[in-house]
Amino acid sequence: MRKDVIDVIREKEQLPDSMTDDEIAREYKGTYTAARAALSLEHKPLDQVLADTMSKIFPWMKKK
């Protein structure tokens, strides 16, 4: 399992720092949590996609 995926799992699941990367990889390998963590690295959240789209349609809605 990639280090960046393990870091996301550690953050989202609030795992203790004492848990090693190997332990996390072993415990979460092939789980829904690991899949969501991997997807979150490659995709923008839906609310961000909507905000970006709205700012293209309505220029005055851009964040400053």
pTM to 2 decimals?
A: 0.61
pLDDT at 13: 92
Could you report the per-residue pLDDT of 25-63, keeping only the tens digit for each? 999 998 988 888 887 777 777 778 788 888 888 877 666
Q: List the domain boundaries for the chain.
A: 3-61
d(CA 64, CA 21): 39
Compute the distance between CA of residue 56 and CA of residue 31 in angstroms, rounded to an integer: 37
How is residue 9 written in tokens?
């799992």
